[in-house]
Amino acid sequence: MSVVVGVIWAQTRDRVIGSEGTMPWHVPQDMAYFKQVTRGSPVVMGRRTWESLPEAFRPLPGRTNVVITADDDRAQQLSEQGAVTASSLEDAVERARPHAAETSTVWVMGGGAIYAEAINKGLARVAAVTQLDLSVDGDTYAPELDPAQWHLVSAAPEEGWQASESGVGYRFETYARR
């Protein structure tokens, strides 16, 4: 079965992806896009990203939610809350794989160190990056996609920004590993 691993995130101009356990912006179109891209695919995330989801929305519906933690007690609680737990990124991807349809994608959905690990270890082949025309302070960052290793496959809009209802400009970019 040829399951691809992808990463998906939204970042500001400075690659900020989070601040104090949350995303410091409101772009409903990005949430809708995330839902559309990941629906039906397993998702992999770190324990803090899981905790950043509103309780009523976790596990994210229609998707196997694999959560990475190094803490056995937390793992027990997480599985009682409906998550599949894993002790490393590789373990998480292996646990997610059987839940992916053939030729579908396992989506790694954060946070910062987990994205970096997925990129640096060569696990991720696809990156769905929402660019936000915004500058905010943050404490969590997306890794850089090295142009020598990644190329832009598509962007919507192709140039410039689409305006969200909150006024923030956004653009959906898809990259593939060369």
Ligand X SMILES: NC(=O)c1ccc[n+]([C@@H]2O[C@H](COP(=O)([O-])OP(=O)(O)OC[C@H]3O[C@@H](n4cnc5c(N)ncnc54)[C@H](OP(=O)(O)O)[C@@H]3O)[C@@H](O)[C@H]2O)c1
Site membership for ligand X, residue 114 (CB under 6 A)? yes
Q: Compute the distance between CA of residue 136 and CA of residue 160 in angstroms, rounded to an integer.
A: 20
Q: Compute the distance between CA of residue 59 and CA of residue 173 in angstroms, rounded to an integer.
A: 26
Give the DSSP letter of residue 55.
G
Site string for ligand X, 126-165 (x = CB under 6 A): --------------x-------------------------
- Within residues 33-92, the interface with ligand X by CB under 6 A covers 45-49, 52, 68-71, 74, 87-89
**Other CB atoms within 10 A of residue 60 CB:** 19
Site membership for ligand X, residue 28 (CB under 6 A)? no
Q: Which two tokens stand for residue 7?
A: 């990463």
Q: Compute the distance between CA of residue 113 and CA of residue 58 in angstroms, rounded to an integer.
A: 21
Give least dist CB 144 to ligand X, A: 15
Tell me which residues touch ligand X (CB under 6 A). 9-10, 17-18, 21-23, 45-49, 52, 68-71, 74, 87-89, 109-114, 140
